[in-house]
Structure 1
């Protein structure tokens, strides 16, 4: 009689310490963001709190899957872990996108005349595209585990489309960061006020540059390995190119003054925005 298949080990879930360390690292970050979101209840801080909670759960599941041959045989648990990682990235990418637009809003810049720029700054459309990418990823991941070759092929196609959307949106977020950089770095009045600003507000654009680069590294790896589950889950690459960039982004978001206060954003809502 054939022994049960350990699905987790089969696709590369082997390191318990790595998963446990990342889960532990997210715990204080979760506490910090919960505290900050209570003091300053902005969308970015609240979503980052949820992101940390999702990552703690996902890494705990990953540690269990890697450590237990019995748990590794539960296919549903493996699918759930994969879905959590996909859903979590929605919050991280949208937080970065929202933060860039919020900081631009504080500058009081007039609406862009370019139709393309107005579209790329439309938060509702960005959310819709992200939601579509997540839905395609979840559906594709589920279908790709079928025993039917045609269903597997369709699932892989859906995963590819979802990953492409994520990559395009990640590039778009980096593009918005460049627009903000142009606004901030060419503003003489802002440079004069630098000495009165917090570290995050003063050097925020450089931090956002790094955030954009880390997100691009993360999603470029996902795109490059979307057709090969074994390469995508190879822990020698997955941890430094996916897990590490994500947690570094979360740490960078904790820079004091980087996320605008809710009161400051509300005082600028009367200004036109695309």
Structure 2
């Protein structure tokens, strides 16, 4: 009897993945245009994420529609799982890059407190990137072993898959913590800047408060997605029969393979997260970030039109440029 790899993974509905693929295709076009026009890493990784999701959901729809060719569907199942992991790698990297760009515009590097400096070290290093790359590699090997024809490697593949999921979980939690920390520092710098320039007043503009809320929502959605996978990875490993020993009647449905749970807690959470990145002025302009990185953009510096960069910076980043006014007093925060 042919092995039903679609049912092993938990793929049944063929119309839902088509809808997701179409939505991601539209989002991919928009992010691709923004990546080219604005030369932004965040937009580039989001375009890559959307492209991978288009391919992943297309494979999912194809597997749901035709699962009779076991050899062909095994390769499709492996490709689907690997590409899906790489996609999550891309959106986590996008979130990390976004936080990094906002850190540079807020000039957190020049703050004197240890909390600010510790955040800068983590952002400047390649710790997050290495963790994500390790998770992708382990996940790819684990999927190949778990869905391969060599039953002796099935347990090893399941363990590698679990390790990959837990690394993704640790990285996501770390990004959530960086999000809270970044928002806290931005608020502190804004209070300092408003106190120095006006002698008091509102600590944050409405736009910046709005962006902080969006950042928290994105972090929460990414955490929800990976928590669902982490909570069900053991259940899937114990409930999934090996391809060699499986019969159609022996397939066990697990939480991770239940589309009624997977779509709202994983697929929809990712889609909402990537859509929230569309918020206007949430992602800083790359040229502005580069100027701040080189130390060339200061509040009193005049641009080609005779106006200072500070005004444009505030408009482009939802108020981050206002923190430049506190440049001489950051160490007091």
> What TM-score do you get using the length of structure 2 for normalisation?
0.74
Change (3 A) 1:118 1:255: closer
Is 1:96 the counterpart of 2:120? The answer is: no
Q: Secondary structure at the match of 1:226?
A: helix
Equivalent position to 2:26, from 3, 25, 28 = 28
CA contact under 8 A between 2:187 and 2:203: conserved in structure 1?
no
Give the structure 1 partner of residue 287 of structure 2.
263
> Which piece of structure 1 moves more, 243-252 or 66-75?
66-75
Which has more radius of gyration?
A: 2
Equivalent position to 1:47, from 22, 45, 48 = 45
Equivalent position to 1:174, from 176, 190, 194 = 176
Q: Secondary structure at the match of 2:233?
A: coil
Change (3 A) 1:206 1:232: same
C-alpha separation in 1, matches of 2:164 and 2:154: 15
Give the structure 2 partner of residue 214 of structure 1.
221
Question: Residues 87-125 of structure 1, C-alpha deviation per residue, up to 9 Å, x if partnerless?
Answer: 000010011011012111101122663585455324412
CA contact under 8 A between 2:169 and 2:223: conserved in structure 1?
yes
Give the structure 2 partner of residue 142 of structure 1.
144
Is 1:83 the counterpart of 2:107? The answer is: no
- Superposition CA RMSD, Å: 2.0
Residue ranges of structure 2 left out of the alignment (5+ in a row): 195-201, 237-253, 296-333
Give the structure 1 partner of residue 265 of structure 2.
241
Q: Secondary structure at the match of 1:267?
A: helix
Give the structure 1 partner of residue 114 of structure 2.
113
C-alpha separation in 1, matches of 2:129 and 2:76: 27
CA contact under 8 A between 2:34 and 2:40: conserved in structure 1?
no
Equivalenced residue count is 265
> What TM-score do you get using the length of structure 1 for normalisation?
0.90
Question: Residues 179-213 of structure 1, C-alpha deviation per residue, up to 9 Å, x if partnerless?
Answer: 11112223223656737xxx4x5521110000110
- Residue 35 (structure 1) shift: 1.5
- Residue 253 (structure 1) shift: 0.3
> Which piece of structure 1 moves more, 113-122 or 216-225?
113-122
CA contact under 8 A between 2:2 and 2:69: conserved in structure 1?
no
Change (3 A) 1:123 1:240: farther
Give the structure 2 partner of residue 161 of structure 1.
163
Q: Secondary structure at the match of 1:5?
A: coil
Give the structure 1 partner of residue 14 of structure 2.
16
- Residue 228 (structure 1) shift: 2.8
CA contact under 8 A between 1:30 and 1:52: conserved in structure 2?
yes
C-alpha separation in 1, matches of 2:291 and 2:104: 10
Equivalent position to 1:227, from 223, 234, 240 = 234
C-alpha separation in 1, matches of 2:70 and 2:216: 39
Is 1:63 the counterpart of 2:61? The answer is: yes
Q: Secondary structure at the match of 2:12?
A: coil
Residue ranges of structure 1 left out of the alignment (5+ in a row): none
Change (3 A) 1:54 1:72: farther
